[in-house]
Amino acid sequence: MKRKRISGKRRSPTQRLRARLHDAEATLEAIRSGTVDAVVVTGPGGDETRAFEGATHPYHVLLDAMNDGAALLSEDGTILFGNRRLAEIARVPVEGLRGSRFQQLVTPAERRTFQGFLRNGRGHNAAREFPIVAGDAPATPAFIALSTVPLGAYGEDTVLMAIVTDLTERKRAETTRLGLIQRLISAEDEERRRIARELHDETGQSLTALLVGLRAIEQQAILAEIRSTARQLRRIAAQTVENVGRLARGLHPSVLDDMGLAAAARRYVSDYRKSFGIAVDLRADRIVPNGLPPLAHTTMYRILQEALTNVARHARAKAVRVELNHDQKVLQLVVRDDGVGFDAGAVLHDASGLGLHGMQERVALLGGSVEIASHPGQGTTIRVRIPAAHGLH
């Protein structure tokens, strides 16, 4: 480290003034050029060393004022400077950051991945989420953005700048939001189940009793006109019973609770063929376990309903293929039609989205994914996956 000493020896007033002016100009130039990183000042209290950060000093001032964690790093990840917020996130003294390796702030399981991330950040901007070690407390989820910053006047020297955003509150808010959505969907499904049960048990039974009474009138009536009228009313009542049953199954089929997803899908596809006259080929070759969580059952069933309803309303398709399978790792539903297709990118950015956003939201609650492939004139394929890690065994 180069140091410049400012002496306090006795000189004539003119000499002292000239010497101080010369020393000040030389010192400022040395600090500005980065060739001096400290000066020693001699005064009444003895020698005092005052350090400067050289060319990085403006960055230090800026980073220390940030609400996010920030650090300047060498190519190998050594921390040249770390601000107070970064020290708070990692729960270490701010003095302990300088000279340590940033890799040590990342949880051990992610350090190899972070090393590759660090290499990528040398040539261009990179950003990724990593858990940060936080003393004895649980790891802190953080979003880290890397970029290069120039030090010299012409950018010949560079360091890596890491901006570290604490995601704890954001994750907590997202967890709360997903929990509320899950409760809302569960409440909706429970209400559907209740209404379907009432339609089946009360309305359905009342209509059945009416049907029996009309049959008795038809059989016992003396006048032909009465028998004809009773027969006509009985046909209307029978059709109403069928419609109420289909409505109840659409809201929440009892077979979904009693026999599982595959049986409910078969029943729905059968009703769908009759209602819309569209050929549907259902393949459920692999056994879909009945022990799935109710939300997983219901999610896949609702998506099947939504997808086939979209086909009937918009696709102008002649045939649909439905695949439902489970391989102990993933529960998968594929709905593929030969209809007119659409611009998937445009529809997904539309708030209405043909119910596609609702599909994605439901599946996200179970850690799954929805893939939609469609182009005008080429039909549409919807592929839904829910991982077994979310309790599908």
pLDDT digits (tens, 9 = 90+) for 96-122: 898 899 999 999 999 999 999 988 887
Is residue 16's pLDDT more than 90?
A: no
Is residue 155's pLDDT more than 50?
A: no
pLDDT tens digits for range 292-338: 677 888 888 889 988 999 999 889 999 999 999 887 788 899 999 99
The beta strand positions in 122-270, using DSSP E, are 126-134, 137-150, 158-166
Q: What is the pLDDT of residue 5?
A: 45
Residue 14: how many other CB atoms lie within 10 Å: 8
The string of DSSP letters for 252-307 reads --HHHHHT-HHHHHHHHHHHHHHHH--EEEEE--S---TTS-HHHHHHHHHHHHHH
Q: What is the pLDDT of residue 152?
A: 54
| Long-range contacts formed by 139-147: CB under 8 A, 24+ apart | 139/107, 140/89, 140/90, 140/166, 140/167, 140/168, 141/166, 141/167, 141/168, 141/171, 142/69, 142/89, 142/166, 142/167, 143/167, 144/117, 146/117, 146/118, 146/120, 146/121, 147/121
What is this structure's pTM?
0.55
Question: Which is more confident, 236 or 30?
Answer: 236
Place of tokens 């972070």: 114
Order of strands, edge to edge, in the sheet holding 3-6? Answer: 3-6, 38-43, 46-51
SS3 content of the chain, % helix, strand, coil (to 5): 50, 25, 25
Q: What is the pLDDT of residue 391?
A: 43
Task: Select, from the ranges 33-47, 126-140, 155-169, 290-304, the one with the highest average predicted confidence (pLDDT).
Answer: 126-140
Mean pLDDT of 277-281: 94
Residue 227, strand partner residues: none
Question: Which is more confident, 277 or 23?
Answer: 277
Q: What is the pLDDT of residue 102?
A: 93
Q: What is the pLDDT of residue 132?
A: 92
Tell me which residue of 92, 66, 63, 68 sits closest to 165, measured CA to CA. 68
The per-residue b/e assignment along 44-81, b for 16 or more CB within 10 angstroms, e otherwise, is: eeeeeeeebbbbbeebbeebeeeebbbbbbeeebbbbb
Is residue 30's pLDDT more than 80?
A: no
Confidence of residue 282 (pLDDT cuts 50, 70, 90): very high
Q: What is the CA radius of gyration of the chain?
A: 36
Is residue 65's pLDDT more than 50?
A: yes
CA distance 263 to 330: 19
Mean pLDDT of 123-150: 86
The distance from CA 356 to its chain's CA centroid, rounded to whole angstroms, is: 16
